[in-house]
């Protein structure tokens, strides 16, 4: 008997082993994203729930309390929750119509030469680091509001709303444009053939058919707005009050974490994690809505 078959068998064995091993390694890499997500949720929730489980703080006082005075162990984040919600809704009211109309324009109306200018502009707008939006807001929008409205302090809810509306534009435009482009051509042809005008077709046929994609765009833009931190710090003004007017200075949830994390320790730090949980819950809620939308869109 020659040694050749034995050798071949050995090399085959090695090959099979490598095949099996590589499959396992690939699986592990893929599982790392699951592990990361679990670690993130686990650590943030563990740290943030400590004051309520071990130290006797009340969740109700935390969520609905009006006073945040860490030095006196008072941790109420209600004003911040309200501020975050107002700022997000305000940004949606401005950002969504502008973004959606830009998307419709790009997908349906724009001559190719103009679309060629706008699309890269939107892409660049998406790439600009968020800090720079804050710098722009502080140096341009804040003084503008101060002069126009005669405010003592230009850093306000309306300044945050304007900055966030600008920041959500690229998300809304890109996602909505994709959705509108995905509407089959036959829909448009059918509507035009029935004698509808181009604009009528867009608003009565195309946009309603792209509804679920457009909703996705809105929810994603919302996520971007509610989670934004550094740009918001610079223009929010940081007052711990429940805003009653657009010109009030505010402190949203995210800025509370970023501003105090640097020096907080003990219960104070855990309360910042609890603030993170509230923020996280908003995001999870949005993700849930998003999943509902996309499963509906599938039908």
Write out the binding residues for another protein, residues 170-209 only, by CB under 8 A. 173, 197-200, 203
Q: How far is the CB of 193 from another protein (least distance, A)?
A: 18
Integer distance in angstroms from the first to the last C-alpha of the chain?
A: 65
Of 138 and 183, the one with the shorter C-beta distance to another protein is 138
C-alpha to C-alpha distance for 6 and 1, rounded to whole angstroms: 10
Using CB under 8 A as the binding rule, the residues of this chain from 266 to 295 that contact another protein are 272-273, 276, 279-280, 283, 286-287, 290
Using CB under 8 A as the binding rule, the residues of this chain from 24 to 83 that contact another protein are 25-27, 29-34, 36-37, 39-40, 43-44, 47
Q: Where are the alpha helices (DSSP H) in the chain?
A: 4-53, 59-64, 78-104, 112-127, 130-136, 142-149, 157-181, 185-193, 198-201, 207-209, 211-227, 230-236, 253-260, 266-298
Residues near another protein (CB under 8 A), total:
84
Neighbours of 139 (CB within 10 A): 12
Of 109 and 182, the one with the shorter C-beta distance to another protein is 109
Q: Which of 7, 11, 258, 295 binds another protein (CB under 8 A)?
A: 258
Of 244 and 269, the one with the shorter C-beta distance to another protein is 269
Q: How far is the CB of 175 from another protein (least distance, A)?
A: 13
C-alpha to C-alpha distance for 49 and 51, rounded to whole angstroms: 6
C-alpha to C-alpha distance for 86 and 249, rounded to whole angstroms: 12
Q: Which of 52, 78, 101, 144 binds another protein (CB under 8 A)?
A: 101
The 107-146 contact track toward another protein, x by CB under 8 A, reads --xx---x--xx-xxxxxx-xxxxxxxxxx-xxx------
Q: Which of 214, 211, 229, 225 is nearest to 283 (CA)?
A: 225
Q: How far is the CB of 244 from another protein (least distance, A)?
A: 26
- Residue 62 buriedness (CB in 10 A; 0-12 / 13-18 / 19+): buried
Residue 223 corresponds to which tokens in the numbers above? 């996520």
Q: Which of 155, 174, 229, 247 binds another protein (CB under 8 A)?
A: 229
Instruction: Reduce the DSSP state of residue 237 to 3 states and report it.
Output: strand
- Applying CB under 8 A, does 99 fall inside the site for another protein? yes
Look up residue 75 and give its DSSP letter: E
Q: How far is the CB of 139 from another protein (least distance, A)?
A: 5
Of 89 and 139, the one with the shorter C-beta distance to another protein is 139
Q: Which of 192, 230, 242, 246 binds another protein (CB under 8 A)?
A: 230
């Amino acid at each position: 008997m020659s040694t050749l078959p034995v050798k071949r068998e050995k090399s085959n064995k090695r090959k099979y082993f490598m095949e099996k091993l590589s499959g396992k390694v690939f699986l592990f890499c893929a599982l790392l994203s699951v592990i990361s997500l679990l670690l993130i949720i686990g650590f943030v929730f563990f740290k943030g729930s400590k004051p309520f489980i071990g130290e006797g703080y009340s969740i109700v006082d935390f969520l609905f309390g009006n006073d945040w005075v860490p030095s006196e162990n008072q941790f109420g984040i209600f004003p911040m929750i309200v501020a975050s919600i107002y700022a997000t809704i305000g940004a949606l009211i401005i950002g969504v119509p502008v973004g959606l109309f830009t998307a419709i324009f790009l997908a349906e109306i724009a001559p190719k030469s103009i679309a060629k200018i706008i699309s890269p502009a939107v892409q660049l707008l998406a790439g600009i680091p968020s800090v720079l939006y804050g710098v722009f807001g502080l140096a341009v929008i804040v003084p503008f509001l101060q002069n126009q409205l005669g405010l003592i302090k230009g850093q306000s809810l309306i300044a945050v709303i304007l900055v966030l509306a600008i920041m959500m534009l690229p998300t809304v435009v890109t996602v909505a444009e994709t959705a509108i482009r995905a509407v089959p051509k036959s829909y448009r042809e059918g509507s035009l053939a029935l004698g509808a005008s181009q604009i009528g077709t867009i608003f009565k046929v195309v946009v309603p058919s792209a509804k679920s994609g457009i909703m996705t765009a809105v929810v994603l833009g919302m996520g971007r707005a509610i989670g934004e931190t550094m740009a918001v710090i610079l223009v929010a003004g940081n007052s711990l009050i429940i805003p009653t007017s657009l010109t009030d200075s505010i402190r949203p949830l995210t800025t509370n974490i970023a501003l105090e994390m640097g020096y907080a320790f003990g219960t104070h730090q855990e309360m910042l994690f609890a603030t993170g949980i509230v923020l996280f819950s908003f995001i999870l809620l949005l993700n849930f809505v998003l999943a509902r939308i996309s499963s509906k869109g599938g039908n």
